[in-house]
């Protein structure tokens, strides 16, 4: 009996006296490190755990140290990371060492940058080489057990951010998810296959190599067959019936050339991409299965050394691992969880013509093409459309069935096709920063993240230099930047998206002349009433749009909605332009001037929207 009471007492102590954190970030990857740093910077007591000794995930620990997209959209910590790399290597130009990316760096350098970010935050407790188990939901948060070697520790948290590579935490919480290709009928995306398929993108076990002064030949791998890589580049083993000629070996190597003479080998064309859907495997099963991807990369290295004559090419010693390879493979896809909002390609391509105006809730941006790697497991019934750049809606971060877990990394609520562009590193960094913002604001305001004000979240992100929408006209360092972002997410002035070659863009067109349709959207924003007809709105729009007639428009709206300052409106229209060094117009009005006036005089950004972009608390214009 005494033993039973003692066991009960110890269990009670361990449970009730578990160390408590306000925010726990599971996974120190590309998303997780940004989530933890942002959460701590905003004052939340934050725990960050990762199974490896490195921070940065796919950018560092998995070896993909060549970023994709957002070169002209340096949003938030992604922009800060670019600046840190440029400082380390001397310039942005020094990062352009290979042709696959404008930003390439050594993974160890990226890890050191992320480590410095984390160590600079007193509110972060960082536990490397630490895993977790026994996740349990409580009435006010979570309990879980940390595992480091043989040591275990029970902790509790108000909020958990799932920043794992494959969405393992949300899965353990029992939340519904999707893996693989969605059916066209499920997402209403015409480019999706007719039937859902449990096919994920290829993974890659990346290698970081370099040239040595002497041969670095590795032993012949078991099962090696040179024909496996015969079409990776131009060589004597090429198939004679190839539809397109491969690139040269030099092009293949320079694809991922890194500073200091290193090479990132992440080659999709008959190279080291590997098909494996181990998303739902146990950790033990996953570890065993991923070894096959590693073995393929080593066979590829043997091919390069022996068939292509690159005898002096060998592993660069970039990683403190027994085999010199990264800590884990590069996953392009994991579980995508059912969220309060599902972001589809339709929302991305035609943001202003959708039943739910999700662009009004945008919190992160992307501009990379829809990139899907299915070289090892082809999917015939799949097309990848051209897209403009886009804004990620806030609702994708919130699981439908839990309000104290925040989705990050690649687990956010997007379709499989959207994941082809949202999975890229600059976007995933922003996703992490948004997740950390949500968690810290939830702690500070004592309300669950999905109940936070959309506009308050966007305001906070603008303070940290984050883009809400991907306008290219004005850099984030410009005083006009927050004005365009605020007006952009109201929809009063809409961006012009376009696809040009491999470039996906959105322009605000600041110097274009304001049109009657812009003024009509302004009226509709303030009426938000289906009872008002198109004709009656049109009758409110002046025939000649100049400063005098727009003053009348503003006065009408201010009077109807009891907006202060109507008696000083003329003066306000002059003084509002001064902080931006914009002269008062004497003729036609540019979109830039119109944006400043609307933002300063009417402040439509103050009008709250819900997670679907619908305005809250609207009233008709009298």
SS (H, E, C) 404-458: CEEECCCCCCECHHHHHHHCCHHHHHHHHHHHHHHHHHHHHHCCCHHHCCHHHHH
**What CA–CA distance (Å, rounded) separates 210 from 260?**
9
Where is pLDDT greater, at 578 or 502? 578
pLDDT of residue 212: 97
pLDDT at 192 over 50: yes
Average pLDDT of the segment spanning 505-512:
97
Where is pLDDT greater, at 619 or 247? 247
Question: Which of 277-286, 361-370, 534-543 has maximum average pLDDT?
Answer: 361-370
pLDDT of residue 543: 86
Burial of 520 from C-beta contacts in 10 A (0-12 / 13-18 / 19+):
middle
Q: Residue 13 carries which DSSP code? A: H
Q: First CA to last CA across the chain, in angstroms?
A: 78
pLDDT of residue 450: 98
Q: Binning pLDDT at 50, 70 and 90, where does residue 11 land? A: very low
pLDDT of residue 532: 46
CB 55 within 8 A of CB 28: yes
Partners of residue 48 on adjacent β-strands: 25, 126
Helix and strand numbers, DSSP H then E, in the chain:
18, 19
pLDDT of residue 561: 87
pLDDT of residue 17: 67
Instruction: Give the tens place of pLDDT for each residue, 543-570.
Output: 899 999 999 999 999 998 899 999 999 9
Range with the poorest average pLDDT among 11-25, 482-496, 549-563, 599-613: 11-25
pLDDT at 244 over 60: yes
Q: Binning pLDDT at 50, 70 and 90, where does residue 410 land? A: very high
Q: Binning pLDDT at 50, 70 and 90, where does residue 217 land? A: very high
Average pLDDT of the segment spanning 343-362:
97
Q: Is the dihedral of CA 595, 599, 601, 604 positive or negative?
A: positive
The DSSP annotation for 39-67 comes to HHHTT--EEEE-SSS-SSGGGTTT---B-
Locate 391 and state its tokens: 């804004």
Where is pLDDT greater, at 297 or 282? 297
Task: Find tokens 């104290």 and name the residue.
Answer: 404
Three-state DSSP class for 79?
Answer: helix
Q: Binning pLDDT at 50, 70 and 90, where does residue 527 land? A: confident
CB 67 within 8 A of CB 425: yes
Instruction: Give the tens place of pLDDT for each residue, 390-401.
Output: 999 999 999 999
pLDDT of residue 618: 53
Among residues 123, 132, 111, 125, the alpha carbon closest in space to that of 55 is found at 111
pLDDT at 175 over 90: yes
pLDDT at 9 over 70: no
Among residues 428, 431, 422, the alpha carbon closest in space to that of 60 is found at 428
pLDDT of residue 456: 98
Where is pLDDT greater, at 241 or 202? 202
Q: Binning pLDDT at 50, 70 and 90, where does residue 612 land? A: very high
pLDDT at 344 over 50: yes
Where is pLDDT greater, at 534 or 286? 286
The DSSP annotation for 197-209 comes to B--PPPEE--EEE
Name, in order, each residue with C-beta under 8 angstroms of 554's C-beta and a sequence gap of 6 or more: 569, 573, 597, 601, 602
Locate 235 and state its tokens: 């060589």
Average pLDDT of the segment spanning 444-457:
98
Q: How many Cβ atoms are within 10 Å of 567's Cβ, its own excluded?
A: 10
Range with the poorest average pLDDT among 13-27, 253-267, 313-327, 469-483: 13-27
Q: Where would I find the H helices in 223-282?
A: 249-255
**What CA–CA distance (Å, rounded) separates 446 from 256?**
46
Q: Binning pLDDT at 50, 70 and 90, where does residue 533 land? A: low
Half-sphere exposure of 179 (CA within 13 A, CB side): 18
- What backbone phi and psi angles, to 5 degrees, belong to 363? -135, -5
pLDDT of residue 13: 46
**What CA–CA distance (Å, rounded) separates 323 from 303?**
18
pLDDT at 10 over 50: no
Among residues 479, 430, 384, 575, the alpha carbon closest in space to that of 74 is found at 430
Average pLDDT of the segment spanning 293-306:
98
Locate 548 and state its tokens: 């005098």
B/e letters for 479-509, b = 16+ CB within 10 Å, e = fewer, are ebbbbbbbbbbbbbbbbebeeeeeebbbbbe
pLDDT at 530 over 70: no
Average pLDDT of the segment spanning 587-613:
97
Three-state DSSP class for 518?
Answer: helix
Q: What percent of the chain has pLDDT over 70?
A: 95
pLDDT at 15 over 60: no
Average pLDDT of the segment spanning 566-592:
96
pLDDT of residue 529: 43
pLDDT at 172 over 70: yes
Average pLDDT of the segment spanning 303-327:
98
Q: Is the dihedral of CA 196, 198, 199, 200 positive or negative?
A: positive
Three-state DSSP class for 147?
Answer: strand
pLDDT of residue 165: 97
pLDDT at 463 over 80: yes
**What CA–CA distance (Å, rounded) separates 166 from 220?**
33
> Which segments within 114-241 are labelled E, that is strand?
124-127, 131-138, 141-148, 151-162, 177-178, 203-204, 207-211
pLDDT of residue 6: 46
Q: Binning pLDDT at 50, 70 and 90, where does residue 76 land? A: very high
Average pLDDT of the segment spanning 604-619:
88
Partners of residue 209 on adjacent β-strands: 263, 315
**What CA–CA distance (Å, rounded) separates 204 from 288?**
15
CB 63 within 8 A of CB 208: yes
For the chain, the average pLDDT equals 94
CB 333 within 8 A of CB 372: no
Locate 205 and state its tokens: 């076990």
Average pLDDT of the segment spanning 248-253:
98
pLDDT at 520 over 60: yes
Q: Binning pLDDT at 50, 70 and 90, where does residue 186 land? A: very high
């Amino acid at each position: 009996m005494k033993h039973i009471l003692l066991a009960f007492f110890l269990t009670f102590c361990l449970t009730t006296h578990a160390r408590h954190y306000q925010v726990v970030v599971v996974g120190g990857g590309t998303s997780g490190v940004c989530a933890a740093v942002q959460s701590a910077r905003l004052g939340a007591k934050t725990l960050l755990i990762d199974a490896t000794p490195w921070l940065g995930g796919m950018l560092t620990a998995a070896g993909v140290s060549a970023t994709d997209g957002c070169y002209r959209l340096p949003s938030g910590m992604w922009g800060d990371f670019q600046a840190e790399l440029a400082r380390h290597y001397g310039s942005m130009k020094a990062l352009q060492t290979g042709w696959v990316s404008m930003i390439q760096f050594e993974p160890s350098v990226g890890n050191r940058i992320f480590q410095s970010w984390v160590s600079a935050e007193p509110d972060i407790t960082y536990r490397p080489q630490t895993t977790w188990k026994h996740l349990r939901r409580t009435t006010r948060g979570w309990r879980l057990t940390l595992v480091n070697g043989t040591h275990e520790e029970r902790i509790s948290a108000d909020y958990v951010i799932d920043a794992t590579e494959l969405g393992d935490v949300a899965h353990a919480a029992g939340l519904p998810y999707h893996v693989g290709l969605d059916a066209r009928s499920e997402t209403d995306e015409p480019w999706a296959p007719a039937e859902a398929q449990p096919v994920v993108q290829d993974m890659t076990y990346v290698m970081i190599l370099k040239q040595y002064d002497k041969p670095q030949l590795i032993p012949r791998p078991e099962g090696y067959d040179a024909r496996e890589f015969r079409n990776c580049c131009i060589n004597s083993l090429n198939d004679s019936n190839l539809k397109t000629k491969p690139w040269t070996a030099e092009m293949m190597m320079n694809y991922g050339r890194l500073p200091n003479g290193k090479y990132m080998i992440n080659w999709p064309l008959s190279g080291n991409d590997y098909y494996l859907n181990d998303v739902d495997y146990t950790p033990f099963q996953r570890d065993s299965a991923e070894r096959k991807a590693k073995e393929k990369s080593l066979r590829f290295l043997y091919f390069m050394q022996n068939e292509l004559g690159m005898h002096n090419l060998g592993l660069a010693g970039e990683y403190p691992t027994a085999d010199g390879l990264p800590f884990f493979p590069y996953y392009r896809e994991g579980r995508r969880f059912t969220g309060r909002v599902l972001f589809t390609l339709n929302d991305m391509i035609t943001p202003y013509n959708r039943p739910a105006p999700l662009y009004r809730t945008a919190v992160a941006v992307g501009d990379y093409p829809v990139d899907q790697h299915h070289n090892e497991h082809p999917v015939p019934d799949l097309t990848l459309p051209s897209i403009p750049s886009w804004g990620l809606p806030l609702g994708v971060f919130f699981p439908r069935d839990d309000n104290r877990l925040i989705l990050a990394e690649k687990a956010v609520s997007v379709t499989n096709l959207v994941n082809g562009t949202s999975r890229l590193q600059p976007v995933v960094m922003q996703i992490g920063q948004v997740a950390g913002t949500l968690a810290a604001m939830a702690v500070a305001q004592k309300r669950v993240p999905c109940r936070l004000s959309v506009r308050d979240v966007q305001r906070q992100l603008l303070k940290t230099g984050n883009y809400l929408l991907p306008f290219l006209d004005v850099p984030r360092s410009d005083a006009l930047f927050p004005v365009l972002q605020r007006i952009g997410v109201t929809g009063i002035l809409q961006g012009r998206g376009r696809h040009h070659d491999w470039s996906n863009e959105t322009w605000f067109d600041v110097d274009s002349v304001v049109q009657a349709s812009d003024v009509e959207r302004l009226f509709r924003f303030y009426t938000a009433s289906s009872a008002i007809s198109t004709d009656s709105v049109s009758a409110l729009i002046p025939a000649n749009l100049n400063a005098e007639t727009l003053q009348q428009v503003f006065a009408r709206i201010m009077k109807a909605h009891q907006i202060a300052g109507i008696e000083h409106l003329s003066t306000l229209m002059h003084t509002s332009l001064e902080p931006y060094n914009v002269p008062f117009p004497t003729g036609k009005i540019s979109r830039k001037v119109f944006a400043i006036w609307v933002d300063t005089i009417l402040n439509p950004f103050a009008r709250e929207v819900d997670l679907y972009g619908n305005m809250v608390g609207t009233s008709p214009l009298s």
